[in-house]
Chain A
Amino acid sequence: MTSIEAHVQQPYKYGFVTDIESEVVPAGLNEDVIRLISAKKGEPEWMLAWRLKAYRNWLKMSEPHWPNVKYGPIDYQAISYYAAPKQKPKLDSLDQVDPKLVQTFEKLGIPIEEQKRLTGVAVDAVFDSVSVATTFQAELAKYGVIFMPISQAIREHADLVQQYVGTVVPYNDNFFAALNSAVFTDGSFVYVPKGVRCPLELSTYFRINASSTGQFERTLIIADEGSYVSYLEGCSAPMRDENQLHAAVVELVALDRATIKYSTIQNWYPGDEEGKGGIYNFVTKRGKCAGVNSKISWTQVETGSAITWKYPGCILQGDNSIGEFYSVAVTSRKQQADTGTKMIHLGKNTRSTIVSKGISAGRGQNTYRGLVKIMKGAEGARNYSQCDSMLIGDKCGAHTFPYIDVRNSTAIMEHEASTSKIGEDQIFYLRQRGLSAEDAVSMIVNGFCKEVFKELPMEFAVEATRLLGISLEGSVG
């Protein structure tokens, strides 16, 4: 094995299993399971009705197969839709959290004890189907910021949830969104009141632990007029031979002059060298710039998952609103990613920027798929898209499928894409300056991704750089 290949094929670091007793509902999906989930979460009647409506719709839908990914059929009846570590349902302080859970998150580098906190970051830790701890809730409450598990929000802030849930991603939006709407278990809820600049970075860490389960979280972030919030999610899962399904929905709503910055570092278990196991990451993420001068910015670093199928998008409804999408997607081993964004321009002078960097190594297949739609009323809309792909090795693939639909003659839309091999002359130059092949590749790749990494909150940019190094270890030879 050449040194670069060795570099890429580093083992997955987060593949351990926490031995914790958990409560898992039997596999299978029917209305009773949905009622059970709803009852366990102590939800009001309207929520259950919404879930059932979504489920009945889901039954009529069929799984989409247009993405450029290949996988065997998924047996939706073989998945357990609820798994929770056994513990007291309500936590008043961290002392009551099972020490095993605290250890798990510590091992993942996510301290949930506040004294060990990452400076300026509030964390919501989700373990399988439940949120186990949310830090800094009291601190945030001083500013009127609500940051809590969505199941708690459904109970305590029903009016807000009811007003916004499903307004950006309707229950019948697509097959996986409908499934999520029916069975979602936990996730984060954020509300930032008028004029408040959220003083902390908000973060949710998702961990799948139990086997034969799926994770179906739902996140809802509402930024009221003139507010600002930066939110980050991270994820990981144990190494298993089976494929586990993760079908999440994220909805963002930005009202007048509000800004939401949403960052993702996705590191689900990618499967082994032969493509066995790994997470199927089928996610629907969408933000609505509902108000004037609002802004939604998506940044994602996708290194994990056997299959990624995800298009964080923005509906630019308010005049002068801005949508941004910065993405780094890495596929190595036998990973497949079909990811990109959707920018729908409705309002006047709306602007969007897309910067996508795809890196394929090993036998990875990486696809950028994006839609830029400029509707008739979007006078003076502006879009700039740039998609670059880098290929490392001769068994991988990189694909670009942008869809561009312009219906307004005052709009300006530009799209550029390139695909090339990692620069041999660049590697040669760095090596003759005394760098090893691995360091040279890592340096080139980090330079390639710089435009995206600079959008990440500082604490996580370092993490992303390191993660990228691990994902690609052994890929150069």
Chain B
Amino acid sequence: MAHVEQLVGSYRAWAANGASGAPSWLKDLREGGIARFHDLGFPNMKQEAWRFTSVAPIAEGSFELAQPPARTPKLDDIRPFLLFETGYRLVFLDGFFQPSLSTPFFDDIQSLAHVVAHRQDLVRQHLGTYAATQDRPFSALNTAFVHEGAFVHVPAKATIAEPIQLLFLASGAKQVVSHPRNLVVIEREARASIVETYASLGQGPYWTNSVTEVVVGEGARVDYHRVQRESERAYHVATTQTHQGRDSTVHLHTVAFGAALARHDIGAVMAGPGGTLILNGLYLLAGQQHADHHTTIDHAADHCESHEYFNGVLDEKSRGVFTGRIIVRPGAQKTDSKQTNNNLLLSTDAHADSQPQLEIYADDVKCTHGSTVGPLDPRALFYLRSRGVGEAEARRLMTYGFAAEILGRMDVAALRAELDRIVRDRLAA
């Protein structure tokens, strides 16, 4: 509890000083966020949504609000995390925008703070509209500290050919917390591909608490990729919330490799009829890592389809938690929804929890979910060995194949190749 007070205190100090120049609507949004966080406090394991994940290391740890970094990294420092050096790119260090490393585009692909200062209308219209804070303490806390993050706006009927890269780096030198807040607005019939990456330059413990809101207009399409490769001592808490208009398409890919403790809440609202959603995720954990994914697909309109695939590879003493909820609202007829969560346990100390959930209030629907937990198939292993593949190599091949199923759904070739390389490296280790 003491720590809740400490965070509220650091908010007060920050609001009175560094953030005092904000417009009044933004101040109101922040005040609402901190009040909510103060009421909710940190979640505990008695709460249904947090049954399998203890946030004690965050709640009991001491994290100072990140300060602007003293030194700007060089392009060479961040090159390992870039997929391409061309195209639009926004780079942040400890939550602060790094103009010298970024290639923004006017007020459309820009730092959020810049857009708030220069062109408020869109931000004001959308910010905080989609990501719930009511029962989400971390989202509320992020809202309290809304200041900086990525802003992407694609006007109606426009197509941005090359993927937009959003890179969030931690210096990993001090025990700090950053609250990146991202807003993506894809207008009607527009199209874009985005890669959001979280990584670290150092090895120290730090805490990232990010929220991303993605609004997709009528007939628009977004391919959203999220790569979480934080340092192994990091804490990563995130919310991704999408909101889809009529006949729109969202392909949301998420990959979690890093962090000691990671929690990712993914929410998707299908608000208009005829929408399509693909939610495609992979978590690859080892050591003592703990990753918890909570997904909620809300079929609020009729004639939408959603396909969700989550694969987990759990080695050593790691633990993977998956909760996938599909809600079909009254009247959302002709919904077609499929969900699968498969977990591979590579060690006797690994541990998987899986809660696929269907909540259906309409009758003319097709909804299925499936979930499996198990070791590698001994017959397939036997087959490979009978063909002269050594046991370790056979296990690696099969595990790679299990992970590659998810990577294969991604459209950005450079990203697929990079993730493929990371998966192979991790399996070789």
A positions within 8 Å CB-CB of B: 66, 374, 376, 389, 391-421
Contact = CB atoms under 8 A, between A and B. Distances in A.
B388 interface: no
Nearest to B352: A406
Given A407-B351, A409-B346, A400 B357 contact: yes
Nearest to B370: A416
Contacts of B367: 418-420
B365 A410 contact: no
A407 B355 CA distance: 15
B48 interface: yes
Interface in B216-239: none
B374 to A, nearest CB: 4
A227 to B, nearest CB: 34
Contacts of A418: 366-368
A361 to B, nearest CB: 9
A402 B359 contact: no
A402 B356 contact: yes
Interface in B199-249: none
Contacts of A411: 345, 373-375
Nearest to A405: B353
Interface residues of B, number: 34
Interface in B71-99: none
B374 A413 contact: yes
Main secondary structure of the interface of B (DSSP, over half): strand
19 contacts: A391-B362, A394-B362, A395-B330, A399-B357, A400-B369, A401-B357, A402-B357, A403-B353, A403-B355, A406-B343, A406-B345, A409-B350, A410-B348, A411-B345, A412-B374, A412-B375, A417-B356, A419-B360, A420-B366
A403 B322 CA distance: 10
Contacts of B368: 416-419
A418 B369 CA distance: 6
B162 interface: no
A409 B377 CA distance: 11
Nearest to B325: A401
Given A399-B358, A415-B356, A419-B366, 5 more contacts: A397-B361, A398-B358, A406-B352, A413-B374, A417-B369
A393 B360 CA distance: 12
Task: Across the A-B interface, give the 3 residue pairs with the lowest CB-CB distance, nearest first.
Answer: A409-B345, A391-B363, A412-B374
Contacts of A66: 48
A417 B346 CA distance: 26
A397 B348 contact: no
Contacts of A401: 355, 357
The CB with the most chain A CB atoms within 10 A, among B330, B355, B358, B375, is that of B358
B10 interface: no
Contacts of A404: 352-355, 371, 373
Contact of B375 (A389, A410, A416): A410
A268 B372 CA distance: 36
B388 to A, nearest CB: 26
